[in-house]
Amino acid sequence: MTNSINQPWAISDKFIARYGETWANMDFEIESKISEKNFKSEPMECLIGHLVVCNQKIAMRYKDLIAYSKAVSTTSNTVYANKVNKHDAFAIDIKDRSFNLRKHEIGKLNQTLADALHCAMRGYELGLYL
């Protein structure tokens, strides 16, 4: 079983019907073994896992996770602050891929990336990559 942030297999049909397939299947799959050697020598280049958005898997290194977490957070804050229509879609670019996501999907993407970054940092601090 993969180490998952959102555990999409546990989302009920009620929530899938309410928020949609894109929202329900959004996830970050953490690598099963992150090498201490990689984290020690080149922490920013270490592969942390894969972001799953719109049935696409995107490999994320530690520096990618930091950068895209900040970028999506800014976009999410802007979308929620402007009180846009819930059916409007906005372009989100992640590693040369563009996704048209609605307000609640951007919010979940923001939370997913923030949680993945937090887990990666906490795992390193606790020495789980040894």
Domain ranges for the chain: 3-126
pLDDT tens for each residue of 25-36: 899 998 877 666
CB atoms within 10 A of CB 110: 22
What percentage of the chain carries pLDDT values higher than 70? Answer: 88
User: How far is 120 from 114, CA to CA, in rounded Å?
Assistant: 10
List 94's β-bridge partners, or say none.
97
> Mean pLDDT over residues 91-116, rounded?
91
Is the Cα torsion angle 71, 105, 90, 54 positive or negative in sign? positive
- H or E element at residue 100: strand 97-102
> Tell me: the pLDDT tens digits for 82-92?
888 888 889 99
Q: Sign (positive/negative) of CA torsion 82, 86, 91, 94?
A: positive
* Mean per-residue pLDDT, 30-53: 78
Both tokens assigned to 115? 């949680």
Reduced to 3 states (helix: H, G, I; strand: E, B; else coil), residue 93 is strand
What separation, in Å, do the N-terminal and C-terminal C-alpha atoms of the chain show? Answer: 20
